[in-house]
Structure 1
């Protein structure tokens, strides 16, 4: 079964039946993207929800010519411009592959059908959205209460795979500092 990793991820969170697995198999598709690919663009309504099988993906927007990374995810995580995908408004973010990526995706139309046909999908999505909201709230609190060095150390401790696989300029943008400042923080930590 082509979407087995997604099924395993979901079944770790909730019980799913063979019928649920068939629904997932019918609605989720696979795709591969090369490093740097923009898979959702700002100023358009986001059309797909992605589950990252391999690789790293980020969401970002530009302000005064500077890219500001709002989210970085790796394997076994969902990403999209959630605000645009769920509400149908124009996205303010781009979604970009940081590395070569394999993803499973569902388009908005199929997502809506799956939502109507399946109780398990509603339960699962609620859990995922609650988790995303909690993570975003914690990220906002961290930006207010933690220094840049502590934000970096927290990322290093909680998501070392991002530190190992994502370019320094994207990590710096994600924690809200310039790449030079992150280089100084990293040198200080190593010494």
Structure 2
């Protein structure tokens, strides 16, 4: 499983043999069953995860007890409540495996060790943080200027497999709409074909 992560990293930074060895030493491969809550809200996140296969999401419960999905992750990528993981503070969100997932996980002390002992890993972490900020900025902008249908089309164009693996209520929540609105959007799109 480590090869997937190393392949992605080496697209951005050059890794030494020591950097590669750190990856094998500090990232633990884990299989996680569908519907597992990996990290619970109101707890300090223990791990950062690299998703090899499967689908995960971040969600919280609103004041009415409804689940609000804030992020859906498809393979391959890092996933956690990142700022709370770094600062070791309680996270407001749950980390949930939507499907069976293969992940690499790393705890906070090993993450610190890696950042202190590898400039390549530190550079890659900076790259990932920049990508995450860009993603969140675009997501906020899209919520402000795009219709629900446009947001749905953007999502399935970026991640076509999401429709086959992620329940529609999670997708609707992620898009900021009710499931019945998403059903209407999907029906309208089918009628246009």
- Normalised by the length of structure 2, the TM-score is 0.96
Partner of 2:109: 109
Partner of 2:7: 8
Partner of 1:89: 89
Partner of 1:164: 164
Mapping of residues 114-133 of structure 1, within 5 Å: 114-133=114-133
Shift in Å at residue 163 of structure 1? 2.1
Partner of 1:55: 54
Q: 1:18 & 1:88 partners in 2: Cα distance?
A: 30
Partner of 1:138: 138
Per-residue deviation, residues 6-38 of structure 1 (Å, max 9, x unmatched): 111111121111111001111000111111000
Q: Which moved more, 1:93-102 or 1:151-160?
A: 151-160
Partner of 1:28: 27
Q: 1:171 & 1:57 partners in 2: Cα distance?
A: 12
Unaligned runs of 5+ in 1: none
Instruction: Report the 3-state secondary structure (helix = DSSP H, G, I; strand = E; otherwise coil) of the residue aligned with 1:7.
Output: helix
Tell me, yes or no, if the aligned pair for 1:60 and 1:71 is still in contact at 8 Å. yes
Q: Which structure 1 residue ranges, 4+ long, deviate > 2 Å from structure 2?
A: none
Shift in Å at residue 164 of structure 1? 2.5
Shift in Å at residue 70 of structure 1? 0.7
Per-residue deviation, residues 90-144 of structure 1 (Å, max 9, x unmatched): 1000000000001001100100011111100110000001100110111011111
Q: 2:98 & 2:5 partners in 1: Cα distance?
A: 21
Unaligned runs of 5+ in 2: none
Aligned residues: 190
- Normalised by the length of structure 1, the TM-score is 0.97
Tell me, yes or no, if the aligned pair for 1:152 and 1:175 is still in contact at 8 Å. yes
Shift in Å at residue 40 of structure 1? 0.8
Instruction: Report the 3-state secondary structure (helix = DSSP H, G, I; strand = E; otherwise coil) of the residue aligned with 2:10.
Output: helix
Q: 1:164 & 1:146 partners in 2: Cα distance?
A: 24
